[in-house]
């Protein structure tokens, strides 16, 4: 496991799911962490961790995001890692029924919010000559079938955003990558998991990927931490699918090859 002692991480969307898991993993491996979320649930993320500072704010609001980065600098002297993980779901209406309001709601957090975190983090990292930014995209951003239209488009935007940001930051020592989770038990998907357990069909969750299961938040967080770490020092501008193999195949009839 990578030792992050003496280094500082900002994690957005840290009140639950992948963000909470990542904040705690960073802290367990020695990093100082600013855990940022819209809800007070982020305080539970920090419970029992003296090196996690819990901060509430809106990841789609520039003032709040800038304040989170400033808090990392003020409390810990800098910023080494930023995990732009905050996101919202929704936008599940049919194509002809979607509204502009729903598009704006999703894009404001999932795409503009990721940009705001990247930009604010880069303003600190570039003068230091080093840093790693990781964003949470999704397999929904790779192809159709894993989310509503606004959500999927926002995550496709994140995938392109990390590629363009990595090139915009060429020569600065700052790397930018994304992780693309498949079905994972998070606050966003909790109703699906709870419903499946109530029906006794939990075993069907994730059944379309070759591993035949959903992911735990820690499994996604581990990849995010790897991308943030020096072990991934030559990975830049990439979107890594962590989906049990779901995106490796086109739809096929279930069963073994003859």
Strands 81-84 and 131-136 turn out to be: parallel
CATH class, range 8-182+215-240: alpha beta
Of 86, 169, 136, the C-alpha closest to 240 is: 136
For the stretch 117-126, pLDDT in tens is 999 999 999 9
What share of the chain has pLDDT > 70, as a percent?
96
Summarize pLDDT for 92-106 with one digit per residue, the tens: 899 999 999 999 999
Question: Is residue 239 a contact partner of residue 162, using CB atoms and an 8 Å limit?
Answer: yes
As a whole number, mean pLDDT of residues 233-249 equals: 96
Residue boundaries of the structural domains of the chain: 8-182+215-240
Catalytic residue IDs: 151
Is 189 a residue whose pLDDT tops 80?
no
Closest CA to 134 of 123, 122, 142, 144: 122
DSSP letters for 44-83: HHHTT-TTEEEEE--TT-HHHHHHHHHHHHHHHS--SEEE
Query: In this structure, are residues 143 and 137 in contact, taking their beta carbons and an 8 Å threshold?
Result: no
Question: In angstroms, rounded to a whole number, what is the distance separating the alpha carbons of residues 40 and 176?
Answer: 28
pLDDT for residue 197 is more than 90: no
């Amino acid at each position: 496991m990578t030792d992050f002692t003496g280094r500082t991480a900002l994690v957005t969307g840290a009140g639950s799911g992948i963000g909470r898991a990542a904040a705690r993993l960073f802290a367990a491996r020695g990093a100082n962490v600013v855990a940022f979320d819209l809800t007070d649930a982020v305080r539970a993320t920090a419970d029992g961790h003296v090196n996690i500072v819990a901060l509430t704010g809106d990841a789609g609001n520039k003032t709040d995001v800038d304040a989170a980065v400033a808090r990392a600098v003020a409390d810990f002297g800098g910023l080494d890692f930023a995990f732009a993980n905050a996101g919202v779901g929704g936008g599940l209406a049919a194509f002809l029924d979607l509204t502009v309001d729903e598009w704006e709601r999703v894009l404001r957090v999932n795409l503009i919010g990721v940009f705001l975190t990247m930009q604010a983090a880069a303003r600190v990292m570039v003068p230091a000559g080093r840093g790693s930014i990781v964003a949470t995209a999704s397999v929904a951003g790779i192809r159709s079938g894993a989310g509503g239209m606004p959500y999927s488009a926002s995550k496709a935007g994140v995938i392109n955003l990390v590629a363009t940001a990595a090139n915009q930051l060429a020569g600065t020592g700052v790397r930018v990558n994304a992780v693309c989770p498949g079905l994972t038990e998070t606050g966003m998907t909790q109703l699906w998991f709870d419903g499946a357990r109530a029906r006794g069909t939990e075993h069907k969750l994730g059944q379309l990927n070759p591993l035949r299961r959903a992911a735990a938040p820690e499994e996604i967080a581990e990849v995010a931490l790897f991308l943030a770490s020096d072990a991934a020092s030559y990975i830049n501008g990439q979107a890594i699918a962590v989906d049990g193999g779901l995106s490796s195949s086109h739809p096929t009839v279930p069963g073994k090859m003859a």
